[in-house]
Structure 1
């Protein structure tokens, strides 16, 4: 005899018509980790795990974790790789 199988998989609810984080309305809007993943360089699950490990700033309302638009922009900026710029000394030697 085998164990019964689950009939449903839990999928996070994602609201529609969300403001972009870089807009005036979006800077203070509260996004769930799965909604924030649309603009961030990570998946919703990874963002939720980062929140659980306290690696990134987030908003806790007593029950759920959220990210504001400003926090999403800071997260994107933190993990953006800047192009390498040659120093003046390197260009003179070449």
Structure 2
């Protein structure tokens, strides 16, 4: 008598995130208070959509929640970009003797 073989089911694929068209840029007056999903905000940030979702889940960045979905406003996207800007190093000038 042989043991029954375990069957492998095909991995479930998640549906692609829906991204609306014709979104205003976050740095425009229309986009300043517009609510972007993490995947819609990703092109304007140094992170991908999944990373933004993870940062929201861990409460590492500010976001807007309506109880079910999480969004980023244009202001929050701009603040996120400012937070991760690397400024060039400048040498200190020598003091005159």
Query: Which bin holds the TM-score, normalised by the shorter protein?
Result: 0.7 to 0.9
Could you state the TM-score of these two structures normalised by the residue count of structure 2?
0.85
Q: Which structure shows the higher helix fraction?
A: 1
Moved over 4 A (4+): none
Deviation per CA, 1:18-50: give whole Å up to 9, x if none. Answer: 100000000100000001001000000000000
Q: Structure 2 stretches of 5 or more lacking a match?
A: 1-5
> How large is the Cα RMSD of the aligned pairs?
1.7
Which of 11, 19, 26 pairs up with 2:16?
11
Greater Rg over alpha carbons, structure: 2
Q: Structure 1 stretches of 5 or more lacking a match?
A: none
Could you state the TM-score of these two structures normalised by the residue count of structure 1?
0.88
Size of the aligned set, in residue pairs, is: 91
SS of the equivalent of 1:76 reads helix
> What's 2:86 paired with?
81
How far did 1:88 drift?
Answer: 1.9
